[in-house]
Chain A
Amino acid sequence: MHRNTTAAFDEFVRVHGDSLIRLAYVLCGDRGRAEDATQEALTRLFLRWARIDDPLPYARRCVVNATNDQGRRSGRRERRELLAAQRQPPELPAFVDDQVVDRDRLVRALRRLPHGQRAVIVLRYWHQLPEPEIASILGNSVGTVKSQASRALARLRAELQSDLIPVNPREYR
């Protein structure tokens, strides 16, 4: 292994490691799983490190895929936990303003989106990436990215406007 390659990779992780784990965290909603997904993504990245020109989009793609793989593996158990969590009212301290409550609801609504839509929303509006780059990361067309973003925003808005969180038991069986 060339020392400079190692140093460049280490520097990449130092600079972008936090951003990648945050991406994983907002996609999977669990700190431990976010760490596992990021570790897996970095391992995949290092395997291809010398062959890719721009490592950041590739690393993001690895993170998105790793969180998606985790979601598939955890399957029903995760959905049951999610359903249980949705039935519980959020635990809030005594002094919390409406803005905090709305943001909490927004994050929970985001987590109920399908993984693809969630990834589009996070990459488009949080990482502020252009649609072609998101399409490249997710392996979709630009049109798919646009439609997923539009559907996801509509769903978020609808969920925020309703006081009750809609739960379809069939969806979580």
Chain B
Amino acid sequence: MNETRLIEELRAALDEEAGAVRAPAGAAGRARAGARRRRLAHGLAAGVPAAGLTAGLAVGLVIALGGSHSPAGHPAGPAGQRTSVTAGASARQTPVLTVAYVTGRARAALDSASGSIVMTSAHGYVEWSDPATAAGRIDVLGPGGRVAASEGVTYSGHTRQLIYVDDKTRTWWQLTSRVSGLPVKPAPAGVLPVTGNSASGQVTILGHRKLDGKDTILVQYGPPKGFKPTAYVSWPTERVWLDATTYLPVRIKIFGTGTVGSEQNLAYLPATPPNLAKLTVTPPAGFKQVPPPPFRGDGRPGLGQIPFSG
């Protein structure tokens, strides 16, 4: 196991180990009450000259007030509230990272990004898709990360045009077909399906994480409570890293059972002419046009022939 893998495994292990641990309710109130008691005890102790008496008084006071380690978290009385601490931290306004808040922001961000070009990169391929027009392009990567094949699909009304370029055989084919109904527009990748813990699974906000130097918020979708995997049924855990500023997904990783997690990196590009041009597949000069491969049962060409690597 190399160092990168070890660190990744370690991170995942700690996420699993501690992801469900939550601060108990009322922790802030108990801390404030404890601090007041301590401050009061120290203040009185400092005012008494005799050391023995000081210690006795301080201990007595702590006992009388319930002890600084009291788990009950009694609210302090009026005397405890008159302390010398001044305001100054009120400017710290940090959003509360609840499940509802984070998923709500993510949904809004995805809605507002519906006019963007979504670039998805993963092991073995890079994909561009335009949710507004359902057009898309996928580059299949071969050894060394070089493009082995490209497929582009565009729609014009009820007409779909498919272009496939095979860099290995230096051939290409195209297919124009009529589609029944309107094309199904792809949803922007990284849609967050659940807004709370339910039978559909548990959502956990694992907190802020640095991802390639950027601040992100890590959200985990796990199996519902009490879910027991069997030999036939498993429930993979999905982790989504959201950009902490835009709340758009930047990475999705799925941890299946016994497999290395599949990972997708996402980028939302503005629909500028250069980015829109990425959706178009143009056969390079010198490539030979060939007839499309045999059709499958669903009417689409035999895309199983695309040499997917990985």
A153 contacts chain B at the CB level, 8 A cutoff:
yes
Whether A10 pairs with B28 at a CB distance below 8 angstroms is yes
Whether A107 pairs with B14 at a CB distance below 8 angstroms is yes
Whether B90 pairs with A4 at a CB distance below 8 angstroms is yes
Q: Which residues of A have CB within 8 Å of B34?
A: 39, 43, 46
Q: Which residues of B have CB within 8 Å of A104?
A: 13
A46 to B18: give the CA distance in the assembly, Å.
25
A157 contacts chain B at the CB level, 8 A cutoff:
yes
- Per-residue 0/1 for B96-129: is the Cβ within 8 Å of any A Cβ (1 yes, 0 no)? 1100000000000000000000000000000000
User: Shortest beta-carbon distance, B102 to chain A, in Å?
Assistant: 12
Whether A4 pairs with B87 at a CB distance below 8 angstroms is yes
Whether A20 pairs with B23 at a CB distance below 8 angstroms is yes
- Per-residue 0/1 for A91-107: is the Cβ within 8 Å of any B Cβ (1 yes, 0 no)? 00101011100111011
A125 to B95: give the CA distance in the assembly, Å.
24
For B, the interface residue count at a CB cutoff of 8 angstroms equals 61
Given contact pairs A4-B87, A5-B87, A21-B22, A103 touches B12 in the complex (Cβ within 8 A): yes
A107 to B88: give the CA distance in the assembly, Å.
40
For A, the interface residue count at a CB cutoff of 8 angstroms equals 59
Task: Indicate which residue in B68, B229, B258 contacts A98 across the interface (CB closer than 8 Å).
Answer: B258
Whether B68 pairs with A122 at a CB distance below 8 angstroms is no
Task: Indicate which residue in A25, A43, A55 contacts B38 across the interface (CB closer than 8 Å).
Answer: A43
Q: Which residues of B have CB within 8 Å of A47?
A: 35, 38-39
Q: Which residues of B have CB within 8 Å of A38?
A: 23, 27
**Could you give 26 example pairs across A and B, Cβ below 8 Å?**
A1-B82, A4-B90, A9-B28, A12-B28, A12-B92, A15-B94, A15-B97, A17-B22, A18-B205, A19-B207, A19-B208, A22-B21, A25-B17, A42-B28, A42-B31, A43-B31, A43-B34, A43-B35, A44-B35, A46-B31, A99-B259, A102-B9, A103-B12, A122-B14, A128-B210, A157-B1
Give the A-binding residues of B (Cβ under 8 A): 1, 3, 6-7, 9-19, 21-24, 27-32, 34-35, 38-39, 68-69, 71, 81-83, 85-97, 205, 207-210, 228-231, 255, 257-259
Given contacts A26-B18, A99-B255, 4 further A-B contacts (CB under 8 A): A11-B92, A18-B22, A99-B259, A107-B13
Give the B-binding residues of A (Cβ under 8 A): 1-2, 4-15, 17-22, 25-26, 31, 34-36, 38-40, 42-47, 49-50, 55, 93, 95, 97-99, 102-104, 106-107, 110, 121-122, 125-126, 128, 153, 156-157, 160-161
